[in-house]
Structure 1
Amino acid sequence: MKALFTSKNNKALSATIQVSGSKSESNRLLILQSQFPNLKTENLSESDDTMVLQKALLSKQGEVDIHHAGTAMRFLTAYFATQPDASVVLTGSERMQQRPIKILVDALKNLGAEIKYLKTNGYPPIAISGKKITKNSVSIAGNVSSQYISALLLIAPSLPNGLTITITGKLTSAPYLRMTVALLQKIGVSCILSENTIYVKPVAEIENKAVLIESDWSSASYFYSMVALSEAASITLKGYFKNSLQGDSILATIYETLGVTTRFNEKDASITLTKNNAPIADHVLLNLADAPDIAQTIAVTCFGLGLGCKLTGLHTLKIKETDRLLALQTELRKLGAKITVTDDSLEMATSEAKNSNKNILIQTYNDHRMAMAFAPLALKVPIEIDDAGVVSKSFPTFWEDIQKTGINVDFE
């Protein structure tokens, strides 16, 4: 299915939209809920990834296919390894079988877990025979993916002796790790983060607890981009808190410099984004090591505004649903951008967005964020998005919601 942007109205973009719960928070809480059934959640993510994880948690025998869901792969590896009644083959899509899992598997094996590779050493699919884990300390590298550490943290309170995790090397995506720690603390688990060490005490059971999941800030990024690229706009997004656990909430600060003002409405837990038309610098320099999931959105926004940019701290994008840096380079060059990428950065020269190549078909590479990051460019130049349905991975109502703002989208 292709998305074709046929036109936009000449009025200011305007809408009130309910964004579903954070995928990151939802997936962490689902793993915890499987260990502590009296934990309840509200505003659970509607994303494919969360649905896949929910389904996987219902099975502890046979093959478990998580398709493209990277978070599910990491979290379930640790979860099944510590369930004595589990005997599963954990697998995924072709791309998932190219995404490394060795650092986490090594850490789990050091704790006594029984995990075997079925094809390529260090990559899924993996066979897991769950067992009781009594060791209570492990060391793990922090410079590849914080999800490996979060996976260990999420099973730590149910281990009979708790867990002490020592992180070696520089930690990447630190806000996601802090999110995991905060959620553990919220449900009553003693979890202490001290420099490069995390201490988690064992918990037999927790008190009855209901957690309201904040709406997803990564999903909000596409509306920030739309407002930045518009001539005038006021869009309200529901379900957001000023004191967020999500690292991507840095969007409010970043986009203030790109012409978007964020007003927090604490009474109804919403944010209102408005175009402020303040002067914008012609070059953007950002280190996104703590918020890599918004890099695609920001790069496309900069291109649409004709700004140069240098985005660093992006090494994790090489092992996502696709090599996101290479994908950005390929698709932005189609539109006329002068862009270069390295293993951990992206640099783009200033340009005239109004002179961009038109009616370009943007490939999405099975990556939901490619589709959604490029969609706001329809405000500047006619484009088409291939495989538009890929957005269901994290934001199933995306196309419906952007049409509410006044952008017309057809499908073929």
Structure 2
Amino acid sequence: MKSILTKPSSRIYGATRQAPGSKSISNRILLLSSLTPTKTQLKDLLNSEDTNIMINATYAFGARVQRSQPEWSIHKLTLLTSKHSELFLGNSGTSARSLSAMLSCYQGNYFLYGLQRIHERPLQDMLFSLRTIGTNIKHLFRPSCLPLFIRPLATVKDSIRVLLDGSTSSQYITALLMVLPMYKRKLGKGITLLIHSIVTSKPYVTMTLLLLERLGMIVHRYGWKLFSTCIIANRYTGPSFCIEMDISSASYYLILGLVNRSNLKLLSICLYNVQGDFFLVCILKRMGCSILVSRSDVSIYKQARKLLPLRIACHSIPDVSMVLLIVTLITACSISLSGIRSWRLKETDRLLAMTMELRKLGVVVECGIDFISAYSLPTSHLNKDSTININTYGDHRIAMCFAVISSQGVNVRIMNHQCINKTFPSFYYVFNSLAG
């Protein structure tokens, strides 16, 4: 197993950096743009394993993606390139869910598969909803998991009301919201999506609705229980998009501003964005950071007073909340996070993984089905002459979280460090460039 020793430093120099483009926006736009009959220009599209998987998948929709710095373009060439395709999805949960839904409305035979972990991540709630429409999806091994065979549509009911449990993953809702307009156009029937539970990660659903609207389709939302499709254009349109910087990727630099005294400025992150993870800025303010937000950047530095303990419900920000646990190790500030049941269904069981790795560093951790609490002595108690091996479990966010510890002069060896290629391939280069 390959590893990397992060560059230890007790000081982070003030610097200006730019995080990569948002993975959530990039993958949504790639899929939706592949359905448009016109050329779409994409600026600051994320270039990573996850987006490359989605780019390869767009070929199944007859689209082609071309890159000419600094922009990408995606152009629809044919209605559908192949009626028979095998798509490798790696460990990309976003691709697995959105493509399973989208391909189900085409009259073809498709086989979706990936790495072992993606074969363990369930799709049961979403597949149940799709089957009520009349889709023909069969699993190969484990029920309601990849690998999946997707076959031509079966008989479709006249009146369609799709039920979905929204408490497991917002990606299920996103996948259905993106595909329901396609069903309406193909079938000529109105389709209603009914959510019968509390919706998790609501900002990601809001993001999907905003992007769909820009492409010529509006989904009427009635609270968080009912969604109905309404096509306002004869076909999808392909405007130009500038992809926002990824707040989740930027969070590791924001935390550096919290635990170090040097200023950090992050470009292309502003108050007016569609990512719910921007709420992290509000959390850091509560903990004692001084933050200045302008139209084009965020500047952050730690104030002199002691950081305050934190208790927060993370239903809307499950991914970005992970890095807050590193704060407890560096500052001895107690932190309690709840509403994180979805951590168990990510690239690994993040609740278990974070608990095990934090305990290696002397953090007192208590966790349950839906929460984790942590308290630690400052990093000054760690032996800085030794090296601490961190197992990433193949999870990119775990790798980046624990790399932050090296800013306190601790030698950290990240095992299977290449997993960061999923969303932030240049992370170690940019992170080490901040250390003096």
Q: Hey, what does 1:4 align to over in structure 2?
A: 5
Partner residue of 1:314 out of 316, 321, 340: 340
1:205 equivalent to 2:235? Answer: yes
Query: What is the CA–CA distance in structure 2 between the aligned matches of 1:301 and 1:258, rounded to whole Å?
Result: 10
Query: What is the CA–CA distance in structure 2 between the aligned matches of 1:134 and 1:5, rounded to whole Å?
Result: 55
SS of residue matched to 1:233: coil
Partner residue of 2:307 out of 280, 283, 286: 280
1:363 equivalent to 2:385? Answer: no
Partner residue of 2:262 out of 209, 233, 241: 233
1:154 equivalent to 2:178? Answer: yes
Alignment deviations for residues 71-121 of structure 1 (CA, whole Å, 9 cap, x no partner): 00000001110122x321111111111100111111111111110010011
- CA RMSD in angstroms, aligned pairs only: 1.8
Q: Does structure 2 conserve the Cα–Cα contact (< 8 Å) formed by 1:229 and 1:376?
A: no
Shift of 1:224: 1.3
Shift of 1:208: 4.4
> What amino acid maps onto 1:144 in structure 2?
T
Q: Does structure 2 conserve the Cα–Cα contact (< 8 Å) formed by 1:14 and 1:406?
A: no
Flag as ranges the 4+ runs of structure 1 deviating above 6 A: none
SS of residue matched to 2:34: helix
Q: Hey, what does 1:56 align to over in structure 2?
A: 57
Query: What is the CA–CA distance in structure 2 between the aligned matches of 1:300 and 1:99, rounded to whole Å?
Result: 26
Q: Hey, what does 2:33 align to over in structure 1?
A: 33
SS of residue matched to 2:47: coil
Summarize the alignment of residues 126-141 of structure 1 with structure 2, pairs less than 5 Å apart.
Answer: 126-131=148-153, 136-141=160-165
Structure 1: where are the runs of 5+ without partners?
Answer: 408-412
Query: What is the CA–CA distance in structure 1 between the aligned matches of 2:322 and 2:130, rounded to whole Å?
Result: 33
Summarize the alignment of residues 234-383 of structure 1 with structure 2, pairs less than 5 Å apart.
Answer: 234-266=263-295, 269-281=296-308, 283-356=309-382, 358=384, 359-380=387-408, 381-383=410-412
Shift of 1:186: 2.3
Alignment deviations for residues 5-60 of structure 1 (CA, whole Å, 9 cap, x no partner): 343264x5222222221100111111211211434322111221111111122135
> What amino acid maps onto 2:328 in structure 1?
C
Q: How many residues align?
A: 401
Shift of 1:218: 0.4
Q: Does structure 2 conserve the Cα–Cα contact (< 8 Å) formed by 1:288 and 1:312?
A: yes
Shift of 1:217: 0.5
SS of residue matched to 1:8: coil
Query: What is the CA–CA distance in structure 2 between the aligned matches of 1:325 and 1:360, rounded to whole Å?
Result: 20
Q: Does structure 2 conserve the Cα–Cα contact (< 8 Å) formed by 1:15 and 1:404?
A: no
1:117 equivalent to 2:124? Answer: no
Query: What is the CA–CA distance in structure 1 between the aligned matches of 2:127 and 2:342, rounded to whole Å?
Result: 18
Q: Hey, what does 1:65 align to over in structure 2?
A: 88
Q: Hey, what does 2:77 align to over in structure 1?
A: none
Query: What is the CA–CA distance in structure 1 between the aligned matches of 2:127 and 2:302, rounded to whole Å?
Result: 47
Q: Does structure 2 conserve the Cα–Cα contact (< 8 Å) formed by 1:238 and 1:270?
A: yes
Partner residue of 1:174 out of 194, 199, 202: 202
Shift of 1:294: 1.5
Query: What is the CA–CA distance in structure 2 between the aligned matches of 1:132 and 1:157, rounded to whole Å?
Result: 18
Relative to structure 1, the CA distance from residue 224 to residue 340 in structure 2 (aligned partners, 3 Å threshold; closer, same or farther) is same
Query: What is the CA–CA distance in structure 2 between the aligned matches of 1:271 and 1:130, rounded to whole Å?
Result: 49
Q: Hey, what does 1:100 align to over in structure 2?
A: 122
Q: Does structure 2 conserve the Cα–Cα contact (< 8 Å) formed by 1:78 and 1:108?
A: yes
TM-score (norm 2): 0.88
Structure 2: where are the runs of 5+ without partners?
Answer: 61-81
Shift of 1:162: 4.7
Q: Hey, what does 1:183 align to over in structure 2?
A: 211
Shift of 1:180: 0.7
Q: Does structure 2 conserve the Cα–Cα contact (< 8 Å) formed by 1:227 and 1:273?
A: yes
Which deviates the most, 146-155 or 239-248? 239-248
Report sequence identity in percent: 29
> What amino acid maps onto 1:223 in structure 2?
Y
Query: What is the CA–CA distance in structure 2 between the aligned matches of 1:49 and 1:261, rounded to whole Å?
Result: 34
Q: Does structure 2 conserve the Cα–Cα contact (< 8 Å) formed by 1:227 and 1:233?
A: yes
> What amino acid maps onto 2:243 in structure 1?
I
Q: Does structure 2 conserve the Cα–Cα contact (< 8 Å) formed by 1:22 and 1:44?
A: yes
Which deviates the most, 179-188 or 58-67? 58-67
> What amino acid maps onto 1:49 in structure 2?
D
Shift of 1:303: 1.9
SS of residue matched to 1:321: coil
